[in-house]
Amino acid sequence: MDKLIKTISESGSFRAYVLDSTETVRTAQEKHNTLSSSTVALGRTLIANQILAANQKGESKITVKVIGNSSFGHIISVADTKGHVKGYIQNPGVDIKKTATGEVLVGPFMGQGQFVSIIDYGTGNPYTSSTPLISGEIGEDFAYYLTESEQTPSAVGLNVLLDEEDKVKVAGGFMLQVLPGASEEEIARYEKRIQEMPAISTLLESDDHIEALLNAIYGDEPFKRLSEEELSFECDCSRERFENALLTLGKDELQAMKDEDHGAEIVCQFCQTKYEFSEADLEELIND
């Protein structure tokens, strides 16, 4: 089971989240049949959303959209505050690697665009904010978003590593934030450690990457573990939800679907589950 661990420095001036998102991204890859670059881009977006969702209280819904104008198209993800996330990428077929190293490329194929978050506290008045993509690598774009939009200086590292067959090997990351009251000396110490930190890919390759990340973030500084939360890829779609969507089309449209198409098939874009509606099902909806 994937998990997110919340920690705080003993001084109370820094907080860090560390995540294992391997199963989440593996499930996303299986559901959407994504090729290498699309897997990494979608996976990084899901991890960013898991971090953002962990920052919310109550029963909110958190949407992250990474909207670039190049190969990937839009990447859309929705999370709740119970550790569930779902998402999809418009183009699952991007598969571009450096010839020499086999490194999977993401940033150059994102293009120009925006990192958008929509936080819905259930009040019917969702809070939307966005910042421009600065590199298209998603982790950097997310850190920029946190620092600019939420006004909290943040360091973020997140990635998805693939095996020889381009299947997900490990996925995860961290977020470190400076809280009010941090001293100059403390900030300097953390900054130095973050700068000297091994690459996120190297840390993810460790036997226990959660511990490796915590060690890289805190070094010898004492810190407390506040909580451990389970994470998973879950879609909340249902037949009933799509029935309601069909009902909004109106009688004429449903009648046409019945007479001309002899039924309807709806595929959930977040999880690829297929819902079939026969002529009899449509008739029932028409009479509703």
Binding characters for Zn ion, 185-224, by CB under 5 A (x = yes): ----------------------------------------
Please work out the total of residues on this chain that contact Zn ion, with binding judged by CB under 5 A: 6
Q: How far apart are alpha carbons 110 and 171 in whole angstroms? A: 20
Q: How far is the CB of 50 from Zn ion (least distance, A)?
A: 18
Task: Indicate whether 28 belongs to the interface with Zn ion (CB under 5 A).
Answer: no
> Which of 136, 62, 131 is CA-nearest to residue 94?
136
String of DSSP letters for the chain: -EEEEEEEETTSSEEEEEEE-HHHHHHHHHHHT--HHHHHHHHHHHHHHHHHHHT--SS-EEEEEEEESSTT-EEEEEEETTSEEEEEES-TT---B-TTT-PBP-GGGT-SEEEEEEEE-SSS--EEEEEE-SSSSSHHHHHHHHHHHS---EEEEEEEEE-TTS-EEEEEEEEEEEPTT--HHHHHHHHHHHHHSPPHHHHHTSTTHHHHHHHHHHTTS-EEEEEEEEEEE-----HHHHHHHHHTT-HHHHHHIIIIISSEEEE-TTT--EEEE-HHHHHHHHH-
Q: How far is the CB of 161 from Zn ion (least distance, A)?
A: 26
Complex with Zn ion: residue 85 or 200, whichever CB lies closer: 85
Contact 84, 234 (CB under 8 A): yes
Q: How far is the CB of 4 from Zn ion (least distance, A)?
A: 22
Among 72, 270, 275, 277, interactor with Zn ion by CB under 5 A:
270
Task: Indicate whether 275 belongs to the interface with Zn ion (CB under 5 A).
Answer: no
Complex with Zn ion: residue 238 or 278, whichever CB lies closer: 238
**Of 71-79, 127-135, 211-219, 230-238, which segment contacts Zn ion by CB under 5 A?**
230-238
Task: Indicate whether 78 belongs to the interface with Zn ion (CB under 5 A).
Answer: no
Q: How far is the CB of 34 from Zn ion (least distance, A)?
A: 16
Complex with Zn ion: residue 213 or 271, whichever CB lies closer: 271
Complex with Zn ion: residue 96 or 237, whichever CB lies closer: 237
Among 16, 54, 268, 285, interactor with Zn ion by CB under 5 A:
268
Among 237, 243, 266, 279, interactor with Zn ion by CB under 5 A:
237
Complex with Zn ion: residue 80 or 205, whichever CB lies closer: 80
Residue type, 54: A
Task: Indicate whether 85 belongs to the interface with Zn ion (CB under 5 A).
Answer: no
Among 51, 214, 271, 282, interactor with Zn ion by CB under 5 A:
271
Complex with Zn ion: residue 18 or 271, whichever CB lies closer: 271
Task: Indicate whether 235 belongs to the interface with Zn ion (CB under 5 A).
Answer: yes
Q: How far apart are alpha carbons 160 and 241 in whole angstroms? A: 32
Residue ranges that bind Zn ion, judged by CB under 5 A = 235, 237, 268, 270-271, 273
